Chains A and B, each alone.
Chain A
Amino acid sequence: MSTVQIKILGPGCANCTNLERATRVAIEALGVDADVEKVTDYSTIAAYGVMSTPALVVDEVVLLSGRVPTASHLREILAPLVAAG
């Protein structure tokens, strides 16, 4: 079982912190084995093609950008990782 790489892109605004917290809660609830990393460097954020923060990147794929999802939406997005992992 490999560890999932989750990145939270955002310069450190309130929404970025909210997204990080929500993501940690969701992976805990789902039992996903994941590393959560915060990315605050602007050129790295922009290189993902992200123009509105915060954004959620799972295994180098941008899944969400520009808003903090509801807890249920976030679980929906992250649920496939349990099966894949």
Chain B
Amino acid sequence: MSISERLTARTPTGVWVRAGAAAMLWVVLYAANGPFWDWLLLDRIGLDGEGRLGSGVRFFFYDSVKIALLLVGIIFLVTVLRSFMSVERTRALLGGRREGLGNVMAAGLGVVTPFCSCSAVPAFIGFVAAGVPVGVTLSFLIASPLVNEVAIALLFGLFGLGPTLLYVGAGLVIAVVAGVVLGRLRVERWVEPFVFETRLRGEVVDPAAALTWADRMRMGVDEVGVILRKIWPYLLVGIALGAVIHGWAPEDFFARHAGAGNPLAVLVAVLVGIPLYSNAAGILPLVEALHDKGLPMGTLLAFMMAVVALSLPELILLRRVLKPQLIAAFVGVTAAGIVAVGYLFNAVLGV
């Protein structure tokens, strides 16, 4: 019996008791994280909290634990909530929608629908074959990775509510606008013809149907394990780089070269971000350290969005259904949206 099966092989009340106990443990650990490392590293070992080594090492340990706790909490919550939605339900909601409102709905549903980019191709075929316009389908496919639960968890934990809401809002606007623009370009001609020839047969199975709370919580626990196993190397590299920048990078190096004074900074950040393949967990510790060094939030959010929204593996998958012209338009329009948002935030927010 796996751990998760053992957890759920109980009465329905038992499930809630366990969930409550886990939530309490989480709060205690989260509250104890900062004081514990201060005590161990500064008081016991005697590192200097203001010095390079001390602040770098403390940043590494404190941030690793904090980010791990945030990820566990948010991934669990998001998975349980998302278990009420499914791609099948989303398609039913989008069926017969015109462009415009359809794009807005698709972007919103892209955020709340449980979706793995490994399913991007069957989902694309399923949407288009069911009559959802290509532009609306693309709004969904852009929003889904762009507004990402891991990024939301970490932004909220590291920067608070304001930047998190800006990020979610900006991601939705980019997905809607990019989908509308691509729809206007009449991109149907750049979709591989077999997509339109696919005839759907058989009963659609809704994965969200007939789940108990115990099932949903098991899915949450499983998903936490799956995501942590997948992202921990990125996370550690990101935090280590963040710690190095935090402790050793000259105080004004980044601010001088990529700060508010450099008009090309956002553009460069996005161009650097697109080919980088990482995920939000690896990027955000870096973003946090760079923000401490005086880089403006707009530049950093644009960098993060470029990294998570446009990933080479997903584009290679999508090449099966989209012709190169559409892949190029997809990347170009999305990147342009991210650049625009970066400049807008820098203008409105400052550092």
Contact = CB atoms under 8 A, between A and B. Distances in A.
Interface in A42-65: 42-43, 45-53, 55, 60-65
Q: Interface on chain B toward A: helix, strand, loop, or mixed SS?
A: helix
A43 B196 CA distance: 10
A60 B219 CA distance: 27
B86 interface: yes
Interface residues of B, number: 35
Contacts, number: 90
A72 to B, nearest CB: 7
Interface string B182-224: 0000000000001100111111110100000000001100000
A52 B116 contact: yes
A43 B194 contact: yes
A80 interface: no
Nearest to B194: A43
Contact of B202 (A53, A60, A64, A70): A60
Contact of A67 (B118, B198, B203, B219): B219
A42 B120 CA distance: 10
Contacts of B129: 46
Given A11-B121, A46-B125, A55 B194 contact: no
Interface in B77-114: 86-88, 91, 114
Interface string A3-32: 000000001010100000000000000000
Nearest to A11: B118
A71 B5 CA distance: 9
A63 B320 contact: no
Interface centre among A60, A63, A67 (most CB of B within 10 A): A67
Contacts of B126: 46, 49-51
Contact of B198 (A11, A15, A47, A61): A47
Contact of A49 (B5, B118, B195, B204): B204
B115 interface: yes
Contact of B199 (A47, A52, A72): A47
B227 to A, nearest CB: 12
Interface string A68-85: 001110000000000000
A11 B199 CA distance: 19
Contacts of A64: 205, 207
Contacts of A72: 5
A70 B218 CA distance: 9
B125 to A, nearest CB: 4
Contact of B87 (A52, A60, A61): A52
A52 B86 contact: yes
Contacts of A71: 5
Contact of A62 (B203, B219, B321): B203
A-B residue pairs, 9 tightest by C-beta? A66-B207, A46-B125, A51-B126, A13-B118, A51-B87, A51-B123, A49-B204, A52-B119, A62-B205
Interface of A: 11, 13, 15, 42-43, 45-53, 55, 60-67, 70-72
14 contacts: A11-B118, A15-B118, A42-B320, A43-B195, A43-B198, A46-B125, A46-B126, A47-B199, A47-B201, A51-B123, A52-B123, A61-B202, A65-B88, A67-B207
